[in-house]
Structure formats: structure tokens, C-alpha cells
Structure 1
Amino acid sequence: MSRILTIAMMLVVLAFGVFLGSRMAGDGTDRYREQKKMSEAYELIKAFYVDDVPGDSLAGAGVQGMAGYLDPHTLYLAPEKAAYSQAEFDGNFDGIGIEYDVLNDTLLVVTPLSGGPSAAVGIAPGDRILAIDSVSCIGISRQDVMRKLRGKRGTRVLLNVYRPLSGKSFDFLVTRGKISTSSVDAAFMLEGGNGYIRISRFMATTADEFRLALTKLRHAGMRRLIVDLRGNPGGFLEQAVQVADEFLGEGQLIVYTKSRNSAENVRYVAHSGDGYEKGALVVLVDKGSASASEILAGALQDNHRAVIVGELTFGKGLVQRQLQFSDGSMLRLTVSRYYTPSGRQIQRQYVKGEGGRDRYYHESLANIMPGKLFSDPDSLLYRKTSEVSVYRTGGLYGVLDSLKGKAASKNLQLNALSAAGGIIPDFWVTGRPYTEFYQEMYRSGLFEDIALKILDDPKSSVQAYRASLDGFISGYLDDGRLLSLVRKSCSARGIAFDAASFRRDRAYVALAVKSRIAHQLFGFEGQIRVFVSGADPVVRMAGELPVVP
């Protein structure tokens, strides 16, 4: 009898276990069914598609399709692209150490990086690389340049180089080494005690680079700091937090993130330090300033620590985490939303799916302009010059808050502004548009062409300024042949020369060419210094505006 009872009890326990397991595994069953569907689709395509399909490509396309369904910032990166991306964000990679450009199908050395492998063997600014390992690189793409010049540390690459000033070609055997990249493109003093720092992105070394630049400017007697985030697409959130910490006092909130996954709910606060917690501060932004740039700008704006100047920013309020697959590919997955200290979620509106992603990246915000927001735009106008109009727009947040929970405003511009997200600057600057002729010259690379023609001419007066950026900025005037060079370059490119537009924009054309010459002679910081010191109206305005928002 006891044996029968024991068996009966075992059956009851087993039945209950099956019942409980089926209840608890409901989600697992659904997940298995979904995974089975994807697996079946993979096998059907492999078996019946008209052409042979590599399995890894098919799997990658599947992940890419899932990522594309989610939001505009969730991405799948194939192994090679993932490796390049990770190296860029880490701030170092193995290569030959040159800043380069591809102009007119020619690989041009802008400058060898100081202390790098190329500088060590004598490669010089302005050199043209004609062949890499005996293979012509005329017509090479930028992606192929990286693929051919980057490689394992200690390996060697043979470069055939043409040097225009001597008219001779040389062979250089370069041993690849560790190359450190930077995200602080420039740090220098302007007139009136104004310091200037430009951050191009937020990567693993940004905060350390920024602290060094800040220390240098403080020792130079800086009284006002201008931080330029224009065109900065973002990067590591933690690096933006560390830079913000340099300006804020202990305990002040910088940013916080929220997610359905509680592990991603984080609050970032400032710690006491010896950075720049007191002192005049201006931050420059534009529609290309996104993500980590907006975190920094939003933190300083909400804590009333800086004046934000420029344009409405991009509007990216989603945080991604990079998750690596075993084959080296990577999923950059959105894991949380971030909020500024006052609780603003600045992500602009988007529609899920491939069509929504395309619209998200191609839609223009040009129609959202401060002069069109109200029937009386002069009520916002702060200053107007021949170059720019400056609107005091910090109060627009209050206007948008007053519309929340109400029927859509009849003001379509305000509705568009609310949907656009982003950081609204305290002072919104709009400039005089360039002529279509100038823009065509810019798009076609004509300024670079003219700069190279001047640099390649041994008789040009620019040759006397190769050794000194300061001397070049103050002493070099635009080439007397500018009109002739523009005409010839336009003819060679099939661009119709517009005499009236050239006269109108002549000063801007001359500055554009001068800045490109500086790029070739002194690197990217040289180009920035020429433009910022010469004619950047937003920087000039940033040095004059009141520093209390």
C-alpha cells in the first residue's frame, strides 16, 4: 500500500511540475516560436534563393533588419566597421600616423602626426602618395585608405610619394605603430582674454585632453572660455559627464538616464574639483551638435553655468551601448533615454522602421527659425549686423511648457519646434546665406584645389610662412591671383563662373582658401585658428555676449 501511495504522490508532483513549468515558460515558448521562425527563414533562403548567399552576410542582414525596426540610433556594425569604430572611440589604433585627404582622386598627406611613424621617416605635408605596396592608389576611396594604411603594429608598408615642390618621387618604408587620435581639435587664446577649445567628439580620452587644454588656457590668463561643440555628433556619455564636472560644483546634477531595465537608471552628479567652476563660460552649438554634446550643453544650461549660443541642436536623447558578437561584429543598441537636470527629454520625434529612419536623417530643420516663431519676430531680436541676426531665445522653453497638455497650437512653427527636440540656445544666431556660387565651390572641393595650386608654386609668397602659424595668420594676405585661380578652377570643374557672386563673397572665398592652406601647412588646428581668428561671427559674438543667461 505504501508503495502505491508513493507512486501516486510522485505522479502528482510530476504533474504539478509540468503544469507549473508550462505556466512559467509561457514567454520562453513564445521566444522559441519567434526564434524558430527566423531560423526557418534563414534555411529557406539558403535552400531556395536563386543565387548562393553567404551565411554570415544573411545573418548580419537579419540583425541589421531588427536594429532598423527599433529606432534611428540602434545600428548593426559588420566586423570591419566595428573594429574601425571601436578604435576611433578608444582614441588609438595601429597605423602610419598621417592626417590625410583624398582630393581629385589623389591621396594627399595633410600632415604627418608628430612623433608618428611617417614623421620619423621624413614624409612631409603636401606629399602625394601615389602607390601603397606597389599598388597605385590613384582614385582610392577613404575606406580603402584606412584598410591599406592601418595594420598590426610592427608590420611595414611601402609608400611611393611625389613631392610637388621638388618635382621628385621617393619611396618610404614605414613601420606601423600605435597612433593616438585626439578629440580636442584646437585650444588657443583669442583677443580680449577669451580662450577657445573645440571638441570634435567624445571618445575615451576626451576628458583628459580637455583638462590639459583648460590648464594651458588658464595659465595663459584666460578670462572667458568658449567651448565649441558645433558639428560634434557625440560619443561616450561618461566623457561628456566628466567635462561637465569641470564646470559644476559638488552635488550638482549633470544628467540622468531612465530605462525599463533598472540597471540603466543612473544619476550623474558633479564632484568638487579644481577645474573651471567659476568664470565666464560660453558654449557654441549648431544642428550638428548631438547626443553627448547635448548632454554637456543641457547640463550647463539647466544649472545656469553657461550661455548657450548658436542654433537648435540635433535632438538625440537616446543612449546606446555597444554589444559585441563572437565574430567581431557589433550591435549598438539603445538601452535608455537621458534627461537634462530639469527633466527635459530632448529626443526629437521619429517614426519606427526603415522609412522613418530615412526621414529622420534627411529631414531639414532649416524652416524652424527664430524669426518665424512669432508674428512679431523683433520681440526676440537681440542684435543684428551685416553678417548675423542674434535672437534671445532662452525663454522659449517656458512657451513650450505652457503648451503641454493643450490642443496643438495654431502656430505651426512652435509645434515643429516642440517636435524637433534638441537644446534651444539662449542666443540663437542666424547668418547671411552664402551665394549658390560659393556653395558650389565649397561642395566641389574647389577651395582645396586652389590652396594646393598656391602651395605647389615655389614663387608664391606663402612659402615664407611655412614655419610659423602666427606669422601666417597675421602676415599672409590672399593671393593676388585669386580671381584668375578661381576662374581657371571653375573652368576645369565645369562650374559656371558668376562674377557678381564672386564679388559679393570674395572675402569669404579668400578666407576659405587661406584656411585650406593653413590646413595643409599646420594641420586641422591651423585651419580652425585661421577661420576663428579671422571671420567667425558666432565666435566673435560669443566673446561679447553677457555671460548670465
Structure 2
Amino acid sequence: MSRIVQAILIVAILFFGILIGYRLRKDPSDAVFGQQKKLLEALGMISALYVDKVDDDGLVDAGIEGMAESLDPHTVYLNADRVDFSNSEFQGNFEGIGIEFDIVHDTLLVVTPLAGGPSESAGILAGDRILAIDSLSAVGLSPMEVIERLRGKKGTSVNLRIYRPYTSRIIGVDVVRDRIPTFSVDAVFMLDDAVGYIRLSRFVATTASEFRSAMKELREQGMQSIIVDVRGNPGGYLDQAVEVADEFLPDGKLVVYTKSRNGGQDEMRYAATREGGFEDVRIVLLVDRGSASAAEILAGALQDNGRAAVVGELTFGKGLVQRQFEFDDGSAMRLTIARYFTPSGRRIQRDYSKGSHGREEYYREVSDSREAEKLFKDSGGLVVKSDIEGVSVFRPSRKLYTASGGILPDYWVVERSADDFYTRLRSQGVFDEVALGIIDDPASTARTYAEGEPDAFIERFSEDARIDSSVRRICRAKGIDFDEAEFLAEREGIVVAVKSRIARQLFGIEAQIRVLAEESDKVLRFARDLMSRDAA
């Protein structure tokens, strides 16, 4: 029996009971019954009379999706597959083969086998190309298709056909899937003798414990101040953001609170519950338009309690609380039930319009830096002197802190936008292809660093002329108009972009972040200068 038939029978029984009660009570204020009846009638008409046969399950899903879409931008309906994927991402583990991968020019590239995972045990190396998965070609797969093929139940096996460029050999490898931890700390290293750096990519079930371990590791290396980078962090588990904030805040300090329509259990206050392990550490927090939800909660808590200087851009502005309600078939509704507010009472959620058009506008606005910069300029503020080329720094006026939604940085750092030529190269994958080609080139020195530590590569690798010629060659192959003047103007950034991608393919994401931190991250450079001035 299909879901829609089951639904009709159940609702018919309910209908009979409600009708009797309705006639006995004769309460005209009970309008819900009429709306339920209308919905049931629409489902029945479409299922029975529509000109083509309809998928009953798909019809029900579409109806729920439509209801969710008419609300706020973050209330969503998830089918069973999306629920499973989402849960595995945020619970801190999943079952698979344990690789970090990229797709470059339709080629599935192993960036790194995760330490202690099945792929590392099977002998898969960074830089390997996966040609086939269980005899099916892996060329041209989307990232989601790769994930679907590689993930599976613990103990099951997957056969990979691999091309290894260092030896020019094609080999077959059987990998037995296992439980793989999902990490949220992408990078941990010292910027100098006293300042540490931690990059948090999201807030999953293991984030707080990962963060504490990273802080202890840096403290053992002499860390006195810390730059915490949550740029591009879309959020995740609230409790993990609260725990991270707790490490820096005295007992009892408010972290965040919620307000709901009905009050009661949906309204909560979260405060630091114990003496934090790093209350003596100076903090700068880096944010941008991609910092959302739990990342904004962390930023608001540290800013309102005077524990961190927030540097970067106005954040995304996602301050709606969702609760996930499961359906019997494994699908779920992620429904907004409350709003978040910072300790000083600032709302995190920015304005939005309801419906599909409202959702499109909501996400378009955050991708358009001009909207945020106009917001700043219209509100006034102070210009901060900066010696960093191509960077302007402002201190927003206090009146904007409660009016904008999102978390407004203490120092709004505006970088000169990349020109169209650089943007075109990046969007068409030229940097990734150049990096891949250099690693494969026997004449390049890149391979000589592959078996060592990233420190030597970051410090010494320099093949600017090879990068120049590779960019020109790939532009010709892709039909990209090559403008010599634009290339020379952006050459320094292009070289760093390629070097960072070579580092990622050889050593993983932390090495890529280190290259960018050392050579081109101007927001990070301002944060370091700010710490130096404060310490003087």
C-alpha cells in the first residue's frame, strides 16, 4: 500500500473523529480542520484524476517541500538519503575508505589518505588518480557521486583502479571500508614564536575536543596568543560552539540565548559553566560572509564579553534555531523553532522575505560584497590606518552593531577584489590543472618534496617560470583569452594560488592554508599586526 493511500485512510479516520467532535462542540474558531480537509482533497484529486500517473511518494514529498519553502530560508525538508548524509557529516564520523579528494579536469585526485584510515592501510598515496570504482569509470563524476560510491557499510570492500603518476603505473587496490572520523580543525600551527593559528571549518560532534587538543598542542610550542579562523564556517552543533567559547570565558558568562513563539523549553540560555582552560590567552577571531550559525554564536559571545577582537567582514546572519523532526520513512523536516541572540541582545538573524523568491534574494545578498560594504558606508565609521597594500580597514559605528543582523567585526577589512582575469582562471579550474601538471612533470622539483615534510616545500619551492608557461598553455587549451597586462598585474597571486594547490595535493589542506597564510592572506596579516600593536 502506497504512502498516499495510507495517509488517506488515516486522515479519513481522523476526519470522522474530528467531525463528531466538531459537531458536538460547534466551535467556529477551529479552522485547522478545514485546512487539513483541503490538503487531503488536493492530494486525492491529483492522485486519482491527473492526466498522467503520478508518483504518490514524490507528490507527498513535493507538498512538504512546498510548505517548508513558504517559511524562512532555513526550514527544509530532507529525504532519507539527505538525512543519512547530513547526520554522518555532523556526528563526527562516517563509514567509508577515508580519503580527502579533489576533482580536477574530470579526474578524481587523492589529496590525502586520512591518517589511520583504510586507504592509508591499503597503500593509497597522495597524488594517486582513481580511474575506476568497482570497475565503473570514475572520470567525470560529481563530488556527490564519488561520495555515494566510496561510502558504504563497515566491512564491505571496494575495488579501486588507480594511476600512480610517480611510477606511471596503473594498479588495482581493494579497500575495506571502516568508520572514519570527520575532523573540523583543518589547520593548527604557529605563526611565530608566540602566536598560534587554528582553522575551524565547521562545528561537528567532536569540535570542542579537537579544539582543546589543538590549543594544548600550541601551548606546548609557546603559544601566548591565538588567531581562530572561522571564515567560511557554515556552523553546525550549537553545544560545540558553546563549549569552545567556554574555554575562553569565566564561569557564568552568557554565551547565547534563544527566543521562541511559545516560550518554555524552546527558550534557552547558555552560559560558561566552568573555569575555561584558556582564559589567559589573547584572541583574534577571523570571520567573513561565509561564517554562519554556530560560528556567529562563537563570534558574538567572545565579542560581547570583551574576549576577542573580531576581524574580517559582516557575517552571514543565520540566527534561526532548527529542530529536526523525523518521519517514519527516514525523511525529516528541519523546522525553525526559535531565534538566537548574543549576550548583549543583538539578533543574529538578518532580514529575509518568505517564499522561493525570498530565498533566492537571501542567498544572493550574502554573495554580493557590495551589499555589505554599502551597509557600512551608509552607517559611518572610522578609517583605520593599514600598511598592507590593497587593503582598507574600517571600525564600524556602534549603532550598526544592533541593526545589521549577523556579527559585525570590530575591524572590517576590505581587500581589493581580484580582477576578471584572475576570477576566470580560478572558476575554470586553471590553478588546479597547473598544480596537477607540475606534480606530474618529471622536470619539476615538486616531486622531491612529496616524501618529506611540508616545511621544506613551503620555504623553498619556487618555479615561477614553469607556472607562467603552464598557465599560458592551459589558457590556450581552454580557449581563455590571455591578457598579458592583466596576467602581470595578478601574477603574484596566481603563483601563490598554484603553489598552495600543489601543497594541498602533496600534503593536505593544512599545508595549503600555511602557504596562503605565509604569502597572501591579507586579513590574517592585519590580525597579526593588530596583535603586535596590542602587545606593544
The verdict on a shared fold, with TM-score over 0.5 as the criterion, is yes
Alignment of 1:60-79 (within 5 A): 60-79=61-80
Q: What CA deviation, in whole Å up to 9, does each residue of 1:55-92 have, x standing for no partner? A: 11111111111111110000111111111011001011
- Write out aligned runs for 1:492-511 (5 A): 492-511=477-496
Q: Contact 1:90/1:204 (CA < 8 Å) preserved in 2? A: yes
Aligned ranges for residues 65-464 of structure 1 at < 5 Å? 65-261=66-262, 262-363=264-365, 364-368=367-371, 373-374=376-377, 379-393=382-396, 396-398=397-399, 418=403, 420-464=404-448
Paired AA for residue 433 in structure 1: S
Q: CA deviation at 1:190?
A: 0.5
Structure 1 CA distance for aligned equivalents of residues 289 and 198 of structure 2? 19
C-alpha distance in structure 1 between counterparts of 2:22 and 2:492, whole Å: 81
Letter in 2 for 1:316: K
Structure 1 residues 26 and 186, CA gap change in structure 2 (3 angstroms) = farther
- CA distance in 2 between partners of 1:65 and 1:246 (Å): 42
Deviation, structure 1 residue 280: 1.2
1:381 Cα deviation from its structure 2 partner? 3.1
Indicate whether 1:517 and 2:518 are aligned. no
Aligned-pair CA distance for 1:376: 11
- Is there any run of 5+ residues in structure 2 with no aligned partner, and where? 1-19
Identity of paired residues, percent?
Answer: 51
Check whether the contact 2:237–2:294 (CA below 8 A) recurs between aligned residues. yes
- What is the rounded CA distance, in whole Å, between the counterparts of 1:269 and 1:361 in structure 2? 31
Q: Equivalents in 1 of 2:230, 2:460: separation in Å?
A: 29
Distance 1:453 1:263, change over 3 A: same
Amino acid at match of 1:387: G
Matching residue's letter, 1:41: A
What is the DSSP-based 3-state SS (H/G/I as helix, E as strand, rest coil) of the residue aligned with 2:345?
coil
Q: Rate the CA distance shift 1:308–1:148 in 2: closer, same or farther, 3 A.
A: same
**Does the 8 Å CA contact 1:280/1:547 hold for their aligned counterparts?**
no
Q: Distance in 2 between matches of 1:382 and 1:206?
A: 36
User: CA 1:169–1:304 in structure 2 vs 1: closer, same or farther (change >3 Å)?
Assistant: same
Query: Match for 2:465 among 480, 486, 489?
Result: 480
Task: Render the CA deviation track for 1:117-158: whole Å, top value 9, x for unaligned.
Answer: 111111111111111111112111111111111111111111
- Asked if 2 retains the 8 angstrom alpha-carbon contact of 1:382 and 1:392, the reply is no
> Structure 2: which amino acid aligns with 1:319?
V
* Partner secondary structure for residue 161 of structure 1: strand
Aligned to 1:367, the other structure's residue is in SS state helix
CA contact (8 A) 1:281 1:547 kept: no
**Could you tell me whether the CA contact under 8 Å between 1:370 and 1:428 is conserved in 2?**
no
- C-alpha deviation, 1:346, in angstroms: 2.2
State the alpha-carbon separation in 1 of the partners of residues 239 and 69 from structure 2.
Answer: 26
> 1: CA distance between counterparts of 2:95 and 2:407?
37
SS in 2 for 1:144: helix
Q: Distance in 1 between matches of 2:81 and 2:28?
A: 39
Residue in 1 that maps onto 2:512:
527
> How far apart, in 1, do the equivalents of 2:49 and 2:371 lie?
50
Moved more, 135-144 or 200-209: 135-144
**Is 1:307–1:426's contact at 8 Å kept on the other side of the alignment?**
yes
| 1:186 to partner: Cα distance | 0.7
Aligned-residue offset at 1:373: 4.4
Shift of 1:459: 2.4
Secondary structure of 2:407 counterpart? coil
**Does structure 2 retain, via aligned residues, the 8 Å contact 1:153–1:176?**
yes
Amino acid at match of 1:299: A
Q: Structure 1, residues 140-181: CA drift from partner, whole Å, max 9, x if none?
A: 111111111111111111111111222211111111110111
C-alpha separation between the residues in 1 aligned to 2:472 and 2:41?
Answer: 62
Alpha-carbon contact 2:249-2:272 (below 8 Å) kept: yes
Distance change in 2, residues 1:232/1:373 (3 Å): closer
The one-letter amino acid of 1:524's match is I
TM-score by length of 1: 0.89
Counterpart of 2:213, as a letter, is L
Alpha-carbon shift at residue 52 of structure 1 (Å) = 2.0
Output the CA distance in 2 between the equivalents of 1:400 and 1:473: 40
RMSD, matched Cα: 2.1
Letter in 2 for 1:119: E
Letter in 2 for 1:88: E
> Shift in Å at residue 387 of structure 1?
2.5
1:19 to 1:335, Cα distance in 2 relative to 1, 3 A: closer
- Compare 443-452 and 432-441 and name the one that shifted more: 432-441
Among candidates 526, 540, 546, match of residue 525 of structure 2: 540
Distance across 1 between alignment mates of 2:180 and 2:214:
20
Q: What amino acid is aligned across from residue 191 of structure 1 in structure 2?
A: D
Note the C-alpha offset of 1:313: 0.6
Give the letter aligned to residue 366 of structure 1.
S
Relative distance call for 1:122 and 1:26 in structure 2 (3 A) is: farther
In structure 1, distance between residues paired with 2:350 and 2:344: 17
Larger Cα-atom Rg:
1
For residues 498-542 of structure 1, the C-alpha deviation after alignment (integer angstroms, 9 at most, x for no partner) is 111111111111100010001001111111111112221111111
Q: Which runs of 5+ in 1 are unaligned?
A: 1-16, 402-417
